[in-house]
Amino acid sequence: MAEAVTTRLRVGIGHDTHRLTPGGPLRLGGIDIPHDHQLVGHSDADALLHAVTDALLGAAGLGDIGELFPDNDPANRGRDSGEMLSEALDRIVEAGYRVVNVDTIVFAEQPKLSRFKPLIEGRLAELLRIESSRVNVKAKTGERVGPIGRQEAITAECVVLLESMT
Ligand code: MG
């Protein structure tokens, strides 16, 4: 029985960093957060959604976000990362998996994210098509050191657990 359980569950990890540039709002976790800086990248640069997308793909053994959505493809320029997450989720569902739970960490010196956590969790749950009780968002600062602490970048990490439905 133990063997059957271990083969039905698969874990994935995701990590992403984007640079900050002056001008808000801050697009993070699929919502716009009032802030004087925003993330820059080829798509909408939503580091948290990118980390979640990579964790999903990794858990299912389906590669990574760069393979699925190449940054040299003009179709992905300025693209809504929610769309990319949704497309990755479609692949996971087609492969016979469902999301058990998602845990995330956002590393940002500013803004303070505590009051936005429920909103981000709600949006992530909506994108992942699961209840928000299965989604957790944690926020850490960079203790004023390194690129996070100097407010040069925001990093996000995610772990996801998938269950095989086949
Ligand atoms: Mg990214």
Which residue is associated with the tokens 């944690």? 138
State residue 102's pLDDT score: 98
CA of 5 to the centre of ligand 1 (A): 33
State residue 74's pLDDT score: 87
The DSSP secondary structure of the chain, one letter per residue, reads -HHHHHHHEEEEEEEEEEEEEESS-EEETTEEE--SEEEESSS---HHHHHHHHHHHHHTT---HHHHS-TT-GGGTT--HHHHHHHHHHHHHHTTEEEEEEEEEEE-SSS--GGGHHHHHHHHHHHHTS-GGGEEEEEE--TT-HHHHTTSEEEEEEEEEEEE--
Rounded Cα distance, 155 and 129, in Å:
24
CA of 13 to the centre of ligand 1 (A): 14
CA of 74 to the centre of ligand 1 (A): 15
Mean pLDDT split into 10-residue runs, the chain, 166 residues:
70 98 97 97 94 98 94 86 97 97 98 97 98 98 97 98 95
What domains does the chain contain, in order, with CATH numbers?
9-164 (3.30.1330.50)
* Full-model pTM: 0.95
Residues 6+ apart with CB under 8 A from 150: 109, 142, 144
CA of 118 to the centre of ligand 1 (A): 22
CA of 147 to the centre of ligand 1 (A): 16
Chain centre distance of CA 160: 10
Counted residue by residue, the chain has a size of 166
State residue 2's pLDDT score: 56
**Residues within 5 A (CB) of ion ligand 1:** 16, 50
For residue 151, give both structure tokens: 């407010």
State residue 36's pLDDT score: 97
* Strand 26-28 versus strand 31-33 pairing type: antiparallel
State residue 142's pLDDT score: 96
Q: Which amino acid is at 153?
A: A
CA of 144 to the centre of ligand 1 (A): 23
Rounded Cα distance, 103 and 135, in Å:
6
CA of 43 to the centre of ligand 1 (A): 8
CA of 10 to the centre of ligand 1 (A): 23
